[in-house]
Chains A and B, each alone.
Chain A
Amino acid sequence: MAHSPTPGDGLSLLEAVERKTPIPSRLEMCIQCGSCGGSCPSAADMEHTPRAIFALLRAGMDESVLHSNTPWICVSCYQCMVRCPQEIPITDIMYAIKNIAIQRGAAHKEEAAFSATFAEMVESYGRSFELGLATRYYLKHHPLRLPGMAPLGMGMLARRRMDLKPTRIKDVDGLRDILQAAREMEAAQ
């Protein structure tokens, strides 16, 4: 079951999404009612509403889905998921599409970079580290936005609401072993 597709394994995107979604995706049950897009707070900024994404997926228009900004604009609010009359786990499908877009090199670069930087932090320390994340991400991708962030950062620092140093968990080696094993499992089959 649920095995993970790798870049060249020839799965259609629909199949790949079905396998990546942690519970049955039920995409074949979508009745195109549009309740998802209608309840989505960030739909206005999306290239395709969730409904349209599912129509494209079923029509085999994989490239349009993989390059759409939709899953990256999704704020994971689960509004669509509790409203969908067909109980389609929409938010989890958005995550699945992001995973596959990253694997197939089609991801929206900036957003994927933020996620990747976050993941790197977690793997180095076992904890997230706001200041390190923000500076590393902005330096690399939005150096011009950094000065604008300074007042916020200073306000946070003045209130000791931002750490200057990351915290590292004790068993960070054990955590890395777990994540490495998990990655192998993801790539296997």
Chain B
Amino acid sequence: MSAYLLYPGCSWDSSARAYALSTGAVCRELGLELRQLEDWNCCGATEYLSVDTVPAYALISRNLALAARQQNGAKTLTAPCSLCYLNLSKADYYLEENPSLNEKVNRALEAGGMHYQPGTLEIRHLLDILLNDVGLDTIRRHVTRPLNGLRVAPYLGCLLSRPDYRQRFSHPDQPHELDLLLKALGADVVDYPLKTQCCGGHMTQIGPNTAYELLRRLLHGAEQYKAHLIATVCPMCQLNLDAYQHDVNRHFGTRFATPVLYFTQLMGLAFGLEPKALGIGLELVGAREALAHIGVETPPPAQAPQRGRRRKKKSEGLPMPSMPEDDQS
């Protein structure tokens, strides 16, 4: 299969390490080559666009210019993070639509000895590549440990299917792509109505109360549908739902304990790969109990240097639940 250029994004080797590990492992199994873009810079997330327009588009487009230069036969630039994916697609699309913006951005790029002709690259999310280029048949052939009995809420978040400049997804609110892929793995896919509702983005840091309410709705929805876990396609969504679940519980007095894994981790499990090689155990809300449903034994959680107390998921008691990773087991 042809090589794809990978724009990993800033979280890839840190907060989304589980995504990076599992993507690497799954792509090796599938013989899919992802070549990492060299010297890429941050896409600016939502912050840079808030500060200034031309610099924000120049910041994003430097990556497009690098990718065009390093293409070497690869037409596709793939991003595993929804926000990176959106920003790269947005710049490519608006530069094409707005000649004046294109001219300014390219004059800025020139100051760094670069150039980008909009439309040169196809910018696609990793889910899109795995589903449409690798394909469900090939994926099914690699499944050796079907995820039967595992109830999964397929969660895409906002930015894959909205605004979807190049119309790559089936529906802005209820796209079925992730469902199809998870079903091919044998999972019991919950018809999760909140699948493209917002995780709060950077509001977990700037306006926590706004973000907590959005997260509460998502976690409540997953619980209502009796999902054992939530599958995500984006490091930002994963971070918010996983790392802030404890704060959401504290804020609302709830007891959510729903693990949030990357879809690539679930692919790896279904392919029979070692949980540890897929970054299972790096989640803050531990996935051990959930994965026991498919008979997968997970490595013991990394010890967080804080008070530890064993507490069952549903136990009655103090209104402030401790997270599963507090377990010292």
Residues of chain A from 112 to 132 with CB closer than 8 A to chain B in the complex: 112, 114-116, 118-119, 122, 126-130
| A123–B108 alpha-carbon span in the complex (Å) | 15
Residues of chain B from 105 to 131 with CB closer than 8 A to chain A in the complex: 105, 107-114
Q: How far is the CB of B300 from chain A (nearest CB, A)?
A: 12
Q: Is A33 an interface residue (CB 8 A)?
A: no
Give chain A residues whose Cβ lies under 8 Å from the Cβ of B305. 154, 158
The answer to whether A169 touches B10 (Cβ under 8 A) is no
The answer to whether B198 touches A41 (Cβ under 8 A) is yes
The answer to whether B54 touches A182 (Cβ under 8 A) is yes
* Chain B residue at minimal CB-CB distance from A2: B100
Residues of chain B from 152 to 203 with CB closer than 8 A to chain A in the complex: 158-159, 162-164, 172-173, 197-198, 200-203
The answer to whether B62 touches A75 (Cβ under 8 A) is no
| A178–B64 alpha-carbon span in the complex (Å) | 14
| A181–B246 alpha-carbon span in the complex (Å) | 44
The answer to whether A76 touches B105 (Cβ under 8 A) is no
* Chain A residue at minimal CB-CB distance from B211: A75
Q: A2-B100, A128-B42, A159-B282 known; A177 and B210 CB under 8 Å?
A: no
Q: Is A186 an interface residue (CB 8 A)?
A: yes
The answer to whether A127 touches B41 (Cβ under 8 A) is yes
Q: How far is the CB of A105 from chain B (nearest CB, A)?
A: 14
Q: Is A32 an interface residue (CB 8 A)?
A: no
Q: How far is the CB of A185 from chain B (nearest CB, A)?
A: 5
Say whether chain A's binding surface is mostly helix, strand, loop, or mixed: helix
| A51–B305 alpha-carbon span in the complex (Å) | 48
Q: A41-B197, A42-B214 known; A95 and B15 CB under 8 Å?
A: no
Q: How far is the CB of B286 from chain A (nearest CB, A)?
A: 11
* Chain A residue at minimal CB-CB distance from B303: A158
Q: Is B132 an interface residue (CB 8 A)?
A: no
Residues of chain A from 33 to 68 with CB closer than 8 A to chain B in the complex: 41-42, 44-45
Counting contact residues on chain A (CB < 8 A from B), the size range is 35 or more
| A45–B200 alpha-carbon span in the complex (Å) | 13
Give chain B residues whose Cβ lies under 8 Å from the Cβ of A110. 206
Residues of chain A from 66 to 116 with CB closer than 8 A to chain B in the complex: 72-73, 75-79, 81-82, 91, 95-96, 98-99, 102, 110-112, 114-116
The answer to whether B101 touches A22 (Cβ under 8 A) is yes
Give chain A residues whose Cβ lies under 8 Å from the Cβ of B164. 82
Give chain A residues whose Cβ lies under 8 Å from the Cβ of B104. 182, 185-186
* Chain B residue at minimal CB-CB distance from A177: B111
Contact residue among B100, B112, B247, B302 (Cβ-Cβ distance under 8 Å from A175): B112
The answer to whether B50 touches A95 (Cβ under 8 A) is yes
Contact residue among B13, B105, B159 (Cβ-Cβ distance under 8 Å from A78): B159
Q: Is B205 an interface residue (CB 8 A)?
A: yes
Give chain A residues whose Cβ lies under 8 Å from the Cβ of B53. 4, 20, 22, 95-96, 99, 186
The answer to whether B50 touches A155 (Cβ under 8 A) is no
The answer to whether A186 touches B50 (Cβ under 8 A) is no
Q: A151-B246, A155-B284, A185-B107 known; A42 and B210 CB under 8 Å?
A: yes
Q: How far is the CB of B113 from chain A (nearest CB, A)?
A: 7
* Chain A residue at minimal CB-CB distance from B44: A122
Give chain B residues whose Cβ lies under 8 Å from the Cβ of A45. 207, 209-210
Q: Is A160 an interface residue (CB 8 A)?
A: yes
Q: Is A11 an interface residue (CB 8 A)?
A: no
Q: Is A163 an interface residue (CB 8 A)?
A: yes
Q: How far is the CB of A104 from chain B (nearest CB, A)?
A: 13
The answer to whether A22 touches B246 (Cβ under 8 A) is no
The answer to whether B304 touches A158 (Cβ under 8 A) is yes
* Chain B residue at minimal CB-CB distance from A20: B53
The answer to whether A180 touches B48 (Cβ under 8 A) is no
| A185–B205 alpha-carbon span in the complex (Å) | 31
Q: How far is the CB of A80 from chain B (nearest CB, A)?
A: 10
Q: How far is the CB of B230 from chain A (nearest CB, A)?
A: 17
The answer to whether A23 touches B94 (Cβ under 8 A) is yes
Q: B-facing mask of A133-171, CB < 8 A → 1, else 0? A: 010010000000000000110111011111100010111
11 A-B pairs with C-beta separation under 8 A = A2-B101, A78-B158, A99-B50, A115-B51, A130-B14, A155-B323, A158-B305, A161-B14, A169-B40, A179-B58, A182-B59
Further 6 A-B residue pairs, CB within 8 A, beyond A41-B214, A42-B198, A178-B108: A119-B44, A151-B306, A155-B325, A178-B58, A179-B108, A182-B54
- What 3 A-B pairs come out closest when comparing CB atoms? A181-B111, A118-B47, A182-B108
**Chain B interface residues toward A at CB < 8 A:** 10-11, 13-17, 39-42, 44-55, 57-59, 62, 94, 97-98, 100-101, 104-105, 107-114, 158-159, 162-164, 172-173, 197-198, 200-203, 205-207, 209-211, 213-214, 217, 243-244, 246-247, 281-282, 284, 302-306, 323, 325
